[in-house]
């Protein structure tokens, strides 16, 4: 398990931010999303605001619109109605060629890790920097740092297949965080992991959150949500039915 406790140690290396402290990282204004050829909207009239440095759980049963919510954040989809602002930019007005620039400031982690099986741990993390054209010297310096941060120091040359699920997810988090993004989106990051490993991953995400990165995490893991006591937003049939700071998972309302 991870033993780092000093969450603030990376704030010094953070890239200059474009978003002022206190400004909202995510803002939805009456957002609806209807997929083509479907009658029922996947999201209907959702308005919310997430500020810098927040840790937000997104809960709701399957089909409640969590994935659509995350896809809108990444601009994999565009809203049918309403405005989505991410990191101060209106995604509807963002031209296609500027989308990659936006995504560089957003880290993403998935349930299925999405690592490249034929690359080592170090290469997997370095890949994220290579493809956005970072100089080699910087890559060589940053990759060990971030692997150390996620608790995988010294495992750079291992292949993903040799690692446990929890370790693989740490590699994925390292890759998502290596750019020091403003926003980290995690789609059920503990969905494939046992409860104990999940706790380790949550500690890691919490530490990343404490460096100032906003974390939005979609999850079905009741235990984790109840333990962490963070802001909880619940979606049901595309509507935002609950938004509680220090909330619990519960269907009990």
Partner 1 sequence: MRAQFVLSEIGVGLRRNLTMTFAVIVSVALSLGLFGASLLMRDQVSTMKGYWYDKVNVSIFFCNKNDADTGANCAKGAATEQQKNDILAELHRLPIVQNVQHETSDQAYKHYKEQFGDTPVAGLVTPDQLPESFRVKLKDPTKYDVIKSAFSERPGVQEVQDQRDTVEPLFNLLNGMNIAALCVMGLMLIVALMLIVNTVRVSAFSRRRETGIMRLVGASSFYIQMPFILEAAIAGLLGAAFACVLIVGGKAILINNWLAQKIQVINFIGWDSVAQVLPLVLLIGLLMPALAAFFALRKYLKV
Contact call for residue 92 and partner 1 (CB under 8 A): no
Q: Can you tell me which of 40, 136, 141, 229 binds partner 1, judged by CB under 8 A? A: 136
* The one segment of 41-49, 65-73, 87-95, 98-106 that binds partner 1 by CB under 8 A: 98-106
DSSP letters for 22-51:
TSEEEEEEEEEE--TT-SS-SEEEEEEEEE
Q: Near partner 1 by CB under 8 A, which window of 17-25, 52-60, 97-105, 194-202?
A: 97-105
Contact stretch for partner 1 (CB under 8 A) within 24-32, 36-44, 124-132, 232-240: 124-132
Element of type H or E holding 179: none
Q: Are 216 and 58 in contact (CB under 8 A)?
A: yes
Residue 94, interface with partner 1 (CB under 8 A)? no
Measured from the CB atom, is 102 or 248 closer to partner 1?
102
**55 CB-near residues (< 8 Å, 6+ apart):** 205, 206, 209, 214, 215, 217, 228, 230, 231
The binder of partner 1 chosen from 5, 62, 96, 196 (CB under 8 A): 96
Token pair in block for residue 42: 């996947």
- Decide: helix, strand or coil at residue 6: coil
Q: Does 111 bind partner 1 (CB under 8 A)?
A: no
Q: Which of 16, 22, 36, 133 binds partner 1 (CB under 8 A)?
A: 133
- Shortest separation between residue 128's beta carbon and partner 1, angstroms: 4
Between CA 41 and CA 157 the distance in angstroms is: 46
C-alpha 175/C-alpha 213 separation (Å) is 15
30 binds partner 1 (CB under 8 A): no
Is residue 141 near partner 1 by the rule CB under 8 A?
no
17 part of the interface to partner 1, by CB under 8 A? no
Contact mark string toward partner 1, 158..197, x via CB under 8 A:
-----------------xx--x------------------
Choose between 15 and 132: whose C-beta lies nearer to partner 1.
Answer: 132
Maximum CA extent, the chain: 53
If the CB atoms of residues 185 and 228 are measured against partner 1, the closer one turns out to be 185
Q: How far apart are CA 101 and CA 106, in angstroms?
A: 9
Helix, strand, coil share (%) of the chain residues, nearest 5: 35, 25, 45
Q: How far is the CB of 160 from partner 1 (least distance, A)?
A: 12
Select from 132, 6, 81 the least CA-distant residue to 238.
81
The binding site for partner 1 (CB under 8 A) comprises 74, 96-97, 100-106, 108, 114, 116, 127-128, 130-133, 136, 175-176, 179
């Amino acid at each position: 398990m991870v033993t780092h406790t000093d969450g603030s140690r990376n704030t010094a290396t953070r890239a200059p931010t474009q978003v002022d402290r206190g400004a909202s990282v995510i803002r939805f204004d009456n957002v609806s999303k209807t997929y083509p050829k479907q009658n029922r909207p996947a999201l209907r009239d959702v308005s919310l605001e997430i500020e810098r440095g927040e840790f937000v759980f997104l809960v709701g049963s399957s089909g409640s619109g969590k994935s659509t919510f995350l896809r809108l954040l990444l601009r994999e989809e565009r809203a049918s109605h309403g405005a989505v602002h991410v990191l101060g930019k209106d995604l509807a007005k963002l031209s296609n060629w500027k989308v990659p620039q936006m995504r560089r400031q957003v880290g993403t982690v998935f349930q299925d890790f999405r690592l490249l099986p034929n690359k080592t741990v170090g290469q997997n993390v370095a890949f994220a920097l290579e493809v956005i054209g970072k100089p080699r010297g910087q890559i060589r310096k940053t990759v060990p740092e971030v692997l150390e941060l996620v608790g995988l120091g010294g495992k750079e040359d291992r292949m993903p297949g040799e690692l446990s699920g929890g370790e693989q997810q740490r590699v994925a988090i390292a890759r998502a965080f290596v750019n020091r993004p403003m926003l980290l989106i995690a789609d059920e990051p503990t969905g494939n992991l046992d409860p104990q490993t999940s706790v380790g991953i949550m500690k890691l995400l919490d530490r990343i959150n404490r460096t100032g990165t906003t974390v939005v995490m979609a999850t079905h893991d009741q235990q984790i949500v109840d333990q962490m006591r963070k802001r909880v937003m619940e979606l049901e049939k595309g509507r935002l039915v609950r938004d509680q700071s220090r909330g619990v998972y519960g269907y009990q309302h």
